[in-house]
């Protein structure tokens, strides 16, 4: 999708209803119990991520990052900029913007937050995550910090291509060599909460075509 065309769809995007859990379920790991709603524990940690759209040579891209290797549940996984709500963050939207600045160096003045997506619950790390769609009208100059291994520019036209849906084997937690649904792009496998959020984004974008 050319970026000029995407800009013309902004108001429609803002008004498009969210599919929510029905979209999340399609990319949820098969081992996760079938769910029709999220039973979010009272002690779940609050977090937020930013789904940032931006142009590169007039192609509309979504910003993804590959996390650095660390001792944690989501080490080396593909993700959106974002993280845990800080006590100094007035809102979860501000959490997403602060984390985007810290992780990839994009200041909030460059970003117009368009809408909040459906909240998603991540059982392995006990996080309740609020995703937000944002847009930068110019190609940002990214400056990554220690949390980010690399920037991944994910074209919208690739997300809308059904051929990138796949499965791949992982070993995580108590599960060994299990197949999980994913989006496969170049040599990247995008799965888990990131894929579930992306699938909701995809369903929203399909209404704009």
pLDDT for 127: 94
3-206 topology per CATH: Nucleoside Triphosphate Pyrophosphohydrolase (3.90.79)
- Determine the Cα–Cα distance for residues 83 and 100; give it in Å rounded to an integer: 9
Q: Beta 82-84 vs 127-135: how paired, if at all?
A: unpaired
SS3 of 146, please? coil
205 is written with which tokens? 């974008």
pTM for the model stands at 0.93
- Determine the Cα–Cα distance for residues 42 and 178; give it in Å rounded to an integer: 30
Per run of 10 residues, the mean pLDDT along the chain (length 209 residues) is 96 97 91 79 96 96 88 71 97 98 98 97 92 97 95 97 92 72 95 96 95
pLDDT for 71: 59
SS3 of 14, please? helix
pLDDT for 75: 54
pLDDT for 134: 98
Domain extents in the chain: 3-206
């Amino acid at each position: 999708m050319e970026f000029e065309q995407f800009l013309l769809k902004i108001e429609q995007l803002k008004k498009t209803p969210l599919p929510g859990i029905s979209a999340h379920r399609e990319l949820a790991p098969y081992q996760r119990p079938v769910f029709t709603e999220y039973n979010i524990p009272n002690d779940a940690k609050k977090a937020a991520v930013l789904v940032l759209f931006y142009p590169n040579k007039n192609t509309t891209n979504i910003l993804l990052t590959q996390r650095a290797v660390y001792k944690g549940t989501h080490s080396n996984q593909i993700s959106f900029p974002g993280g845990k709500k800080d006590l100094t963050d007035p809102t979860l939207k501000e959490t997403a913007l602060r984390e985007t600045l810290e992780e990839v160096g994009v200041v909030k003045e460059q970003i117009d937050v368009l809408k909040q997506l459906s909240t998603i619950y991540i059982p392995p790390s006990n996080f309740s995550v609020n995703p937000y769609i944002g847009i930068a009208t110019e190609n940002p100059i990214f400056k990554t910090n220690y949390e980010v291994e690399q920037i991944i520019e994910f074209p919208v036209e690739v997300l809308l291509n059904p051929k990138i849906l796949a499965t791949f084997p992982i070993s995580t937690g108590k599960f060994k060599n299990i197949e999980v649904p994913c989006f496969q792009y170049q040599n990247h496998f995008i799965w888990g909460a990131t894929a579930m959020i992306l699938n909701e984004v995809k369903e929203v974008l399909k209404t704009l075509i």
